[in-house]
Amino acid sequence: MSLMLTRALLTAALAVPAMLVAAKMVKVYRAAEVGFHLPPHEVGPPPTDLRGAEAVEFPSRDGALLRGWWVPPAGGATVILLHGSDDDRRQLLPEAQLLFSRGFGILMFDWPGLGESGGRVTWSRTEPEALLGALDWLDRRAPGQRTGALGISLGASMMVSAAALDPRLRALVVEAIVLDLDEEVTREYGSWGPISYVAARWGIRAGGWDPGVAKPLETVAKLKGRPLFIINGSADPIVPPADAWRFFDAAPRPKDLWVVPGAGHGGYAGAAPDQYGPKILRFFQDALGG
């Protein structure tokens, strides 16, 4: 075999794995770039069992038009419900129905660029601006409200970031909080080691994520004096219980942590049907008044 032919065969042999690696990185990059949000879509009218609910729209602090549902309170307390990635406001309908049944006002809206809301998904800059806009709207619509919030996953991360900027959020239920999106994509897209998770990290940045903002472990100290109820599933494949403990240790008092046995990423009512609802109600009733 000639030297030239040998070199050609070696080059071809090396090129095949390199092409496979490149193809894998491109696939992961594209998946991560859009993997934390659904395309905009219709959500529909408010469910009939939320009596008195109406469709509303209001501006984010950055000007994006947000859409959601509003149920006026029977008393003086309202809870804002904040869904996670790859979802819309309907994700937290069970919590809305639970709180509505005890007279709490409910505001639930789609994060920017999701569901029926305008704007752009970033999971860093635009979402806290949206929640601050929701608080501004509540001040106009129901002045004097005692306001709390419940958020799940990346929605919980954005909730903590906004609450650190605005004391109007007086009590927070923090479910399956994502502490760092780099860590999150490493877990979700790390099957090929650095080949996949580095590409995923590039992808989330291309999708709009700014690693310099929305850092719950750093901002939670600013919530001093406001009650926190932290919930995580013991079998959560996305946010391990260790992350909930890290957040709990960083959080100021008053605080509580409940790791739900057997629960995954959400679904706590199914894993603990006799405990989840009463715990949520008791927390908000104690923190905001019934």
Task: Give the pLDDT of residue 182.
Answer: 83
Report how far residue 272's alpha carbon sits from residue 237's, in angstroms, rounded to the nearest whole number: 18
pLDDT (average), residues 17-21:
49
91 closest CA partner among 42, 147, 151:
151
* Token pair recorded at residue 113: 């660029």
Q: Which domains does the chain have, with CATH numbers?
A: 35-180+215-288 (3.40.50.1820)
* Token pair recorded at residue 148: 């709390």
What phi and psi, each to the nearest 5 degrees, are found at residue 210? -110, 110
Task: Give the pLDDT of residue 45.
Answer: 94
Task: Give the pLDDT of residue 28.
Answer: 45
Task: Give the pLDDT of residue 208.
Answer: 80
Report how far residue 38's alpha carbon sits from residue 35's, in angstroms, rounded to the nearest whole number: 8
For a pLDDT cut of 90, what percent of the chain falls above it?
71
Q: 113-142: string of b/e by CB count within 10 Å (b at 16+)? A: bbbbbbbebbbbbbbbbbbbbbbbbbeeeb
| Range with lowest mean pLDDT among 9-23, 112-126, 222-236 | 9-23
What phi and psi, each to the nearest 5 degrees, are found at residue 257? -130, 130
Asked if residue 23 has pLDDT above 60, the reply is: no
The dihedral formed by the CA atoms of 148, 151, 155 and 157, expressed in degrees to the nearest 10: 80
Type of residue at 202? W
Q: Which residue has the tokens 């100021």?
A: 252
Asked if residue 1 has pLDDT above 70, the reply is: no
Q: What is the pTM of this model?
A: 0.89
Q: What distances in angstroms separate CA 80 from CA 100, 104, 135, 149, one per listed residue?
A: 12, 10, 9, 4
Q: What is the mean pLDDT of the chain?
A: 88
Asked if residue 99 has pLDDT above 60, the reply is: yes
Give tens-digit pLDDT for 161-211.
999 999 999 999 999 999 988 888 778 776 656 767 777 776 777 778 788
183 closest CA partner among 200, 161, 158, 164:
200
Locate all alpha helices (DSSP H) within the chain, ordered by sequence. Answer: 3-34, 93-100, 126-141, 154-163, 181-188, 194-206, 216-219, 241-250, 268-271, 276-288
pLDDT (average), residues 140-154:
95
Q: Which residue has the higher pLDDT, 36 or 246?
A: 246
pLDDT (average), residues 111-132:
95
Dihedral (CA of 56, 60, 61, 63) sign = negative
Task: Give the pLDDT of residue 9.
Answer: 43
pLDDT (average), residues 11-37:
52
Q: Which residue has the tokens 């594209």?
A: 30
Give tens-digit pLDDT for 128-140.
999 999 999 999 9
